[in-house]
């Protein structure tokens, strides 16, 4: 099933509440559907931050993604359900096992970090607790960041949205193989799962923080035809995203806030198509 495109911006509060509300309003003005926020003690807490954003603009809000070891499953589910109710259904719970830096955050919070299997089990239990709280027509959509086969199996069983967590140099063949595996594991659920993709670089230059995070430069991304980069005119970018949707099935596309304005013409070309 081919889904229509929708677009999000991954952002974090950089100043006071006024600047954060202005960011949310600008995201909505430019036609993005969702404001997504990462998780970690180096940032403000995502739930109150996203509640403020949702009150400032008619935009969906999402965690991207919660690190499962930083909260008990019930605590995460409680906050997620509360957000869904108070935003009138405009919240999406994104959750995963966490990047390596989450270990230090868990330690500071007095939470056990656990093995990869234990952290993945926490993801599954969190989704189960969310579903227990769903009632009276209120349902929280859940996005799972899935990398390896076991996380794809869990996502295939429980997630509404899946972002395929591949390496920074993954190309279209790599991602298509992951998507095919996810759909095979999902069976009858395959058509209800929305596939998401986060683009780290829009244009030809890799920002310093992105280069540090990914460990690769622009030449390496271009040489690999990596899907973490999107280049060209707005029309060329739109054509490339259609190619990716045709081959992989990805229709929910997010970019970092640094590229908010630069990517807006692509959003205008593709939203709802």
Question: Could you tell me which of 218, 173, 196 has the C-alpha nearest to residue 34?
Answer: 196
- pLDDT one digit per residue (tens) for the chain, 273 residues: 789 999 999 999 998 999 999 999 999 999 999 999 999 999 999 999 999 999 999 999 999 999 999 999 999 999 999 999 999 999 999 999 999 889 999 999 999 999 999 999 999 999 999 999 999 999 999 999 999 999 999 999 999 999 999 999 999 999 999 999 999 999 999 999 999 999 999 999 998 888 888 899 999 999 999 999 999 999 999 999 999 999 999 999 999 999 999 999 999 999 999
Length of the chain, in residues:
273
The three-point CA angle 243-227-27 to 5° equals 85
Rounded to 10 degrees, the C-alpha dihedral 146/150/152/157 comes to -120
**pLDDT of res. 132:** 98
Domain ranges of the chain: 6-270
Residues 28 and 262: their CA atoms lie apart, in Å, by 15
Contact (Cβ atoms closer than 8 angstroms) between residue 37 and residue 63: yes
Homologous superfamily assigned to 6-270? Luciferase-like domain (3.20.20.30)
Residues 39 and 90: their CA atoms lie apart, in Å, by 19
What would the DSSP string read from start to end of the chain? -PPPBEEEEE----S-HHHHHHHHHHHHHTT--EEEE--STTS--HHHHHHHHHHHSS-EEEES-EEGGGS-HHHHHHHHHHHHHHTTS-EEEEEES--TTHHHHHHHHT-----HHHHHHHHHHHHHHHHHH-BTTB---EEEEE-SHHHHHHHHHH-SEEEE---TT--HHHHHHHHHHHHHHHGGGGGGPEEEEEESEESS---HHHHHHH---HHHHHHHT-TTEE-S-HHHHHHHHHHHHHHT-EEEEEEEGGGHHHHHHHHHHHBT-
Quick one: how far is CA 131 from the chain centroid?
20
């Amino acid at each position: 099933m081919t889904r229509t495109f929708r677009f999000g911006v991954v952002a974090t509060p950089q100043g006071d509440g006024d600047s954060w509300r202005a960011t949310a309003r600008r995201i909505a003005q430019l036609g993005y559907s969702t404001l997504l926020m990462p998780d970690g003690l180096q940032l403000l807490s995502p739930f109150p931050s996203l509640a403020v954003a949702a009150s400032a603009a008619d935009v969906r809000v999402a965690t991207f993604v919660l690190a499962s070891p930083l909260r008990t499953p019930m605590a995460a589910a409680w906050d997620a359900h509360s957000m869904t109710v108070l935003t009138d259904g405009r919240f999406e719970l994104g959750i995963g096992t966490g990047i390596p830096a989450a270990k230090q955050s868990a330690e500071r919070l007095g939470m056990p970090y656990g093995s990869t299997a234990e952290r993945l089990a926490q993801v599954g239990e969190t989704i189960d607790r969310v579903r227990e709280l769903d009632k009276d027509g209120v349902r929280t959509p859940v996005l799972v960041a899935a990398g390896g086969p076991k996380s794809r199996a869990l996502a295939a069983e429980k997630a509404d949205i899946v972002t395929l967590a591949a390496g920074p140099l993954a190309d279209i063949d790599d991602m298509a193989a992951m998507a095919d595996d996810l759909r095979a594991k999902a069976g009858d659920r395959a058509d209800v799962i929305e596939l998401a993709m986060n683009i780290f670089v829009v244009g030809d230059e890799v920002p310093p923080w992105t280069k540090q995070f990914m460990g690769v430069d622009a030449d390496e991304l271009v040489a690999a035809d990596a899907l973490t980069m999107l280049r060209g005119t707005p029309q060329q970018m739109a054509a490339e995203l259609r190619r990716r949707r045709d081959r992989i099935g990805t229709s929910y596309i997010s970019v970092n806030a640094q590229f908010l304005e630069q990517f807006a013409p692509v959003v205008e070309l593709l939203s709802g198509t």
